[in-house]
């Protein structure tokens, strides 16, 4: 910028003129602030104006479904705006139901009456069971032998389970 212009912008008389101009502008704005509302009134309708600007009757056939193009085939084709981004992954198949379960068996001892077979006292889960030799005590589980120190259980597959006295043992049996 030339030095003369900078000197004019820094002078006191220029600042005074700008100051006086701003006060004048503020006075003019405040004086016309109340203002006067414009004269608004309804105009009389002119008979020369057209009643219907758009010929709507000619547009009706455009929206009839008979005019729409028919798709080539109704198939499972994906549309133009289809995305797999928002499709959730397939849910996994539920696991098959269990075929076996565990049963807690505790051997409590045995007793034998005269001229009667041995009867074993078992604690299955929370229930006390008295079973004779050869009796079914749980699904596919039979009492084979009862002695002072151990109980022998067997199943139809000829598997043998030995349960010591006053000891809890988990045995897997088929689900009923």
pTM above 0.85, yes or no: no
111 membership: H or E segment, kind and range:
strand 100-111
pLDDT of residue 83: 74
pLDDT (tens digit per residue) in 83-135: 777 778 889 999 999 999 999 999 999 999 898 889 999 999 889 999 999 99
Which range of 45-49, 74-78, 163-167 scores highest in mean pLDDT? It is 163-167
Question: Taking every pair of C-alpha atoms in the chain, what is the biggest distance, in angstroms?
Answer: 139
Q: Per the structure block, which two tokens stand in for 45?
A: 């309708």
pLDDT (tens digit per residue) in 41-67: 887 777 666 566 666 777 777 777 776
CATH no. of 100-174: 2.30.30
Residue 15's SS3 state is: helix
Domain map (residue ranges) of the chain: 1-30, 100-174
* Residue 151 neighbours by CB distance under 10 Å: 27
Residue 91 backbone dihedrals phi, psi, to 5 degrees: -75, 140
Closest CA to 110 of 169, 166, 60, 162: 166
What does the alpha-carbon distance between residue 143 and residue 118 come to, in Å, rounded to a whole number?
Answer: 10
């Amino acid at each position: 910028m030339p030095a003369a212009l900078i000197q004019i912008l820094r002078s006191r008389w220029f600042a005074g003129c700008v100051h006086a101009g701003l006060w004048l502008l503020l006075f003019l704005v405040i004086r016309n602030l109340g203002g006067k509302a414009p004269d608004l009134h309804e105009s009389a309708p002119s008979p020369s104006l057209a009643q219907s600007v758009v010929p709507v009757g000619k547009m009706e056939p455009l929206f009839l479904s008979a005019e729409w193009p028919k798709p080539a085939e109704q198939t499972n084709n994906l549309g133009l705006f289809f995305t797999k981004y928002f499709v959730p992954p397939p849910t996994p198949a539920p696991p098959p139901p269990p075929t076996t379960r565990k049963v807690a068996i505790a051997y409590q001892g045995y007793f034998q009456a005269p001229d009667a077979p041995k009867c074993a006292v078992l604690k299955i889960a929370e229930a006390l069971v008295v079973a004779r030799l050869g009796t079914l005590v749980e699904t596919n589980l039979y009492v084979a032998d009862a002695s002072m120190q151990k109980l022998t259980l067997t199943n139809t597959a000829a598997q043998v389970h030995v349960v010591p006295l006053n000891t809890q043992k988990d045995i897997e049996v088929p689900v009923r």
